[in-house]
Amino acid sequence: MALPQALENYRKQYRKIKLFQDISSVLHWDSEVMMPEEGREYRSNQIAAVAELTHEWMTDKSFLDLIQSAKETTKELPETQSTLWNRELEILMEEKEKADKLPSEFVSEFAKLTNLAHAEWAEAKKEKNFKMFSNRLEELVNLSKKQADYFGYTTEPYDALLDSYEKGAKANQIQILFSDLKNSLIPIVAKASKFESPFKKPIPIANQTKFCNRLPSILGLTTKESRLDISNHPFSTSLGKGDKRITTRYSETDPLSSIFGVLHETGHSLYESGLSKMPDWPNPLTEYLSLGIHESQSRLWENQVGRSLPFWEFMYPILLADFELKETEIPFQQFYKFINSTEKSKIRVEADQVTYNLHIILRFEIERDLINGKIKVKDLPEIWNSKMKESFGMTIENDAEGVLQDIHWSMGAFGYFPTYTLGNIFSAQFFKKFTEEFPDSHNKFSAKGDFSDLLSWLRKNIHSKGKTETIENLVLGATGEPANAKYLISYLEEKVKEVSISR
């Protein structure tokens, strides 16, 4: 059925903006995966120009007029249609009002600096020298503080940035949640076991690549709509309908790093793929709901699935074949226990699922104080190293394994880190509900590598909802109760117990 003209006009302009946002994503992806090193400076100008252009379109009064005309038109629609349209326009107006608070020149400067900062961060990390990146980071912190001022806040600047990733979240509430979680994790870590790596020789990158290339399609992300590449830091991005990009990184001495990187990023891309299958894509309701929900999808496939016994009962023979190993070289029980081993580590992306959230809590505390002006950029290495000693009992030897290990601050993504732990909380709750509704799912996982029931459940309860629901209502609708960290704690306790029992 044809839409009323006012709705058509609004959607046409919205989709023009979305199209150019996706073009920007292509530029970003290429700059991390394919672009020659000397193209960085000019690329940053290209990205800045597109960012400024889309921001101007979003904040232009003519677009507001189109939205208001569309809103008037919804009054003439049947209630079943007008409710959804009003939700769509409400979501868009929230985004527009936020965009309106940022001057175009600020948006351009931020986009340009973050693109330049990434290359400088990568070089500083390579050289293990924070001073090579500190001046640029100082600029990004100052810009982020300015961004918080533009957005406005009631209690603290960090809240304004956190809200961009997890709408409605407040730092003081996160602090309470994380404090309780930390207290629950400490005894679990104490009971957990460390297991020796079964990999006694390096695994060639070509063999790892062969295995990793299988994973997305096994989980449900076809090669027709995705591709896997290499980058400095694993990531995933959507370049538009039917075009999802995944990256990972390889280490011959740590082949599990690439595997779990692919599982994690495939989870993100499966969510984006599901969103792009929603009716009338693209529109403001077919975007991801929050980064906490986004992370729940990646962490679910990485941990609840990727570290499960049924998953590896199916994948283990394939891994042996691709890695050109014999079972005697890497016994299954030793392998399975190792992937669920718990050991305090320096690197977040390689942390086990039990200690992972301690890494997030550390970063949350540091970046909150940084944005709120309680600590200075120049003191970050010392503060980081001190907190690692306090929380993990570990001594940081160099900046690459310390304050420079994560990409996020070079992206200006302050407020992002807490969403990882929120995602862990959501993922455990979602997976628990799924297994209650599909009690035989583990048999399908192990016998056939069939994950279609899980993907269908996620499509129905998470992906197909987009932004039609609030975060609270989405979790309630999917699981029958509000978000609760007890499912994450229970999952981790059971996992530690499972692998500690001799088999």
Active site positions, annotated: 265
CA-wise closest residue to 367 among 409, 411, 410, 422? 409
Contact 59, 100 (CB under 8 A): yes
Contact 415, 175 (CB under 8 A): no
Contact 160, 151 (CB under 8 A): yes
What does the DSSP assignment read for 297-318?
A: HHHIIIIIITTSHHHHHHHHHH
Contact 228, 219 (CB under 8 A): no
328-351: string of b/e by CB count within 10 Å (b at 16+)?
Answer: eebebeebbbbbbbbebbbebbbb
What is the 3-class SS of 51-71, one letter each residue? HHHHHHHHHCHHHHHHHHHHH
Which three-class secondary structure state does DSSP give residue 239? strand
Residues in the chain: 503
Helix ranges restricted to H, 152-238: 157-165, 171-191, 205-212, 215-219
Position 231, amino acid: S
Which three-class secondary structure state does DSSP give residue 166? coil
